Chains A and B, each alone.
Chain A
């Protein structure tokens, strides 16, 4: 397994005080907290950070970790020394049950054994916890409906009280018309119950993958369409993509940049479907091209036009 450099993860020196560790943790936790952070790999970073903190904040665990020595490099292949753990008593599994799931094998091999069995005797029955996850889909999936696979890391408590992370893949039906932020509940796909307790549910929050062309607001879809100046000025029929297939779009004459054309009902499908808004952009041919330059110059000389007429600067 990989060695984890908890000091490096936390960005502190090996001789940092407990206060320095606490400060470093708080600062990084705010930066990478998955509910707050917009960093791409926030979830992963936050998990690592939580693991590092779990060890370094606890003087006993920290001392034990320090005993491994400082000659290890992050990611180096690691095996705990045979006399590992002698003389240390690790009290308390990670607190609270939730929130510390999925620590690395490295952590588990060093501190995992310390956790006592949970839940007590055989006669204990409890419904399993609900789990929550995100499912990323494409906008097109919402137009057509789809079935998508999602990989989940599920924390699971073994009968002897260890928390292990199990990977599993679920195939989920994505109903047509689903919107960003909606929740799909999969009954019985959460944590296993204890005793005769039933399993919890799994809630999936739908999120769309960012799209090259479209952005989505509720059930409405927006598309920026570049036009040549003459298309905007004279009117034109142009081919544009939509999530349900390419269409011919009629651009009225004298369309200015930023004009929105509404294609009713071509947003995300539903009983009342959303609309598709085409936002016009005007793109100029480069004046490096001699023909284009000549025409610009002629327009400058011959066309009466002051785009700043309303700004009263003469």
Chain B
């Protein structure tokens, strides 16, 4: 366990808290999507940014997961944006039910 082999140093990352926010640019970068993709997801109600207009949008850290899931569902299952939105909502509900 304690061997100091090459490349075995312990990495210390940045931990996001639940109420941390990220900018539109960060979200796009992290999910490798274009701004338009995020804008569409916002208009579909999949994402709920705070901050009024696009330039000041700020997204919850859980948005990363939502964007990625929405993109994957569209790419892999051939559903459209509305279908991905529905699936995401149902997944949220399942998670909520499981918590109880």
Q: Which A residues fall within an 8 A CB radius of B?
A: 26, 29-30, 33-36, 46, 50, 96, 98-99, 127, 129-130, 132, 147, 170-173, 175, 178, 181-187, 189, 201, 203-205, 217
Contact with A along B61-87 (1 / 0, CB 8 A): 110110011001101111000000001
Q: Which of B5-13, B35-43, B46-54 contacts A (4 or more CB under 8 A)?
A: B5-13
Contact of B16 with A183 in the complex, beta carbons under 8 Å: yes
Distance (whole angstroms) from the CB of B93 to the closest CB of chain A? 13
Are the C-beta atoms of A36 and B87 separated by less than 8 Å?
yes
Known: A35-B72, A129-B32, A205-B65. A171 touches B10 (CB 8 A): yes
Measured CA separation A26–B83 after assembly (Å)? 14
B68 partner residues in chain A, CB cutoff 8 A: 35, 132
Contact across chains for A172 and B15 when beta carbons are under 8 A apart: no
- For the complex, what is the distance from the CA of A96 to the CA of B74, rounded to whole Å? 13
Q: How far is the CB of B61 from chain A (nearest CB, A)?
A: 6
Q: Which B residue's beta carbon lies closest to that of A147?
A: B10
Q: Which residue of chain A has its CB nearest to the CB of B94?
A: A38
Collect the chain B residues with CB atoms within 8 Å of residue A132's CB: 64, 68
Taking the nearest CB of chain B, how far is it from the CB of A131, in angstroms? 10
B91 contact set on A, CB distance < 8 A = 35-36
Contacts of B56 in A (CB 8 A): none
| Interface membership of B34, Cβ < 8 A | no
| Other A-B pairs beyond A29-B77, A36-B73, 12, CB < 8 Å | A26-B78, A29-B76, A33-B73, A129-B32, A171-B9, A175-B15, A181-B62, A183-B15, A185-B13, A185-B14, A187-B14, A203-B30
B18 close to A (CB within 8 Å): yes
B64 to A203, Cβ gap below 8 A?
Answer: yes
Residue of A nearest to B95 (CB): A181
Cross-chain contact of B13 among A33, A35, A127, A173 (Cβ < 8 A): A173
Which A residue sits closest to B73, measured CB to CB?
A: A35
How many B residues touch A, CB cutoff 8 Å? 30
Q: Mark B85-100, 1 if CB is under 8 A from A, else 0.
A: 0010001000000010
Most buried by B among A34, A178, A183, A204: A183
Say which residue of B30, B75, B77, B87 sits within 8 Å of A201 (CB atoms): B30
The smallest C-beta distance from A136 to any residue of chain B, in angstroms, reads: 16
Tell me if A172 and B77 are in contact (CB < 8 A).
no
Q: Is the CB of A184 within 8 A of B69?
A: no
Interface residues in B1-34 by Cβ distance below 8 A to A read 8-18, 29-32
Closest to B61 in A: A183
User: How far apart sit A29 and B68, CA to CA, in the bound complex (Å)?
Assistant: 16
Select one of B8, B16, B17, B72 contacting A185, CB under 8 A: B16
Most chain A CB inside 10 Å of its own CB: which residue of B14, B87, B91: B14
Select A130's contact among B9, B30, B99, beta carbons within 8 Å.
B30
Measured between beta carbons, the chain B residues less than 8 angstroms from A147 are: 10
In the complex with contacts A35-B91, A36-B91, A173-B77 CB distance below 8 A: no
Judging by beta carbons under 8 Å apart, are A173 and B12 in contact?
yes
Nearest B residue to A185, CB-CB: B14
Whether B10 contacts A173 by the Cβ 8 Å rule is yes
- B30 with A178: CB separation less than 8 A: no
Provide the bound-state CA to CA distance between A211 and B27, in Å.
Answer: 33
- CB neighbours of A184 from chain B (8 A): 13-16
Q: In the bound complex, how far is the Cα of B14 from the Cα of A203, in angstroms? A: 9
Which residues of the partner chain A approach B11 to less than 8 Å between Cβ atoms? 170-173, 186, 189
Q: Which residues of chain A are near B61, meaning CB under 8 Å?
A: 183
Known: A36-B91, A173-B12. Is A30-B77 also a contact (CB below 8 A)? yes
| Shortest beta-carbon distance from A49 to chain B in Å | 9
Residue of B nearest to A179 (CB): B18
Cβ–Cβ < 8 Å partners of B10 in chain A: 147, 171-173
A200 to B69, CA, bound (A): 20
